[in-house]
Structure 1
Amino acid sequence: MSAAAKRDVGLSKDALLKQYRKRLKDDVRSMSDNLSEIVKLCRIEDETQVVTATTAEDYALEMQVRASNMVRAGESLMKLVSDLKQYLILNDFPSVNEAIAENSNLFKDTQASCDRKLTDMRDEMATDLYELEEEYYSSSYK
């Protein structure tokens, strides 16, 4: 891989990680801000305050919207975790290279074992064939 290609991969990796950090901060901030606003709506400011039905409905609607925003941020965080897992699995080159090396060594050992067995079989067959030829040519029935 050329130096320019490595630099491009590094830049894209850094950019992707920065994007993940930004998503994390934004989603956590969204959850925190919406929860703070819901708590503020629940606070009773004056004991003698009479809340009209429309104000109560307005507060209830705002709470639902903020709760929906919190759910959306939570789902976004779950998607972020999934993306991070996928990124780790796909870009964990040392582990992938180690697994490839292990498989390569296993296959080389298997190949060497098969080669030894075939060589032994060839030698046994050559010996048996030699004995059969000896028997045939020394036989009185030919």
Structure 2
Amino acid sequence: MHRNLPQNKEALLKSYTTRLKEDVKSMLENFEEIIKLAKGENDSQLNRMTQIEQDTFEMQVRAANIVRAGESLMKLVSDIKQYLILNDFPSVNEAITQNSKLFRTKQQECDQKLMSLRDDIAADLYDLEDEYFTSIYK
């Protein structure tokens, strides 16, 4: 899939994939266990209140595990964004090239408008000079 990538990029992509799979798996497993605990089907020899306390504590731990996995996923997204920003040279170069072309086009348009304006002003100045020098009011 990514055969043309250097070895370190390949390893980085594998680590990102591994982190993603582990975090999603952790979230799913902990959520499933919370649902099982919420059903209250545990038949144990513990006192009912003790079992409730134990289940509540386990739910809190599993909820904390879900939050931890979610934070890990957010960190992973941040790492991927940072990697893309710092290492996506082809798209950066393409954006620079596109902006460069756009600015050259704008420069040419401005130059043409300035030349046209210069010609119009020169013609008007010529007419004004002619009018001034042929005027009886000078």
TM-score, length-scaled by structure 2 = 0.62
User: How far has the Cα of 1:62 moved from its partner?
Assistant: 1.6
**2:61 is the alignment partner of 1:65:** yes
Match 2:13 to one of 8, 11, 17:
17
Number of equivalenced pairs: 130
Structure 2: which 5+ runs fail to align? 134-138
Q: For 2:76, give the aligned amino acid.
A: L
Aligned-residue Cα RMSD (Å) equals 3.8
Q: Which residue of 2 aligns with 1:102?
A: 98
Q: Which residue of 2 aligns with 1:44?
A: 42
Q: For 2:41, give the aligned amino acid.
A: R
- Cα distance change of structure 1 residues 37 and 127 upon mapping to structure 2, 3 Å threshold: closer
- Distance (whole Å) between structure 2 residues aligned to residue 58 and residue 79 of structure 1: 31
Aligned to 2:56, the other structure's residue is in SS state helix
Query: Contact 2:37/2:59 (CA < 8 Å) preserved in 1?
Result: no
- Distance (whole Å) between structure 2 residues aligned to residue 126 and residue 56 of structure 1: 94
Q: For 1:107, give the aligned amino acid.
A: F
- Distance (whole Å) between structure 2 residues aligned to residue 32 and residue 126 of structure 1: 77
Deviation per CA, 1:2-33: give whole Å up to 9, x if none.
xxxxx9x8233222212211111211222233
Q: Which residue of 2 aligns with 1:84?
A: 80
Deviation per CA, 1:43-84: give whole Å up to 9, x if none.
233xxx664133332222122111111121122223323433
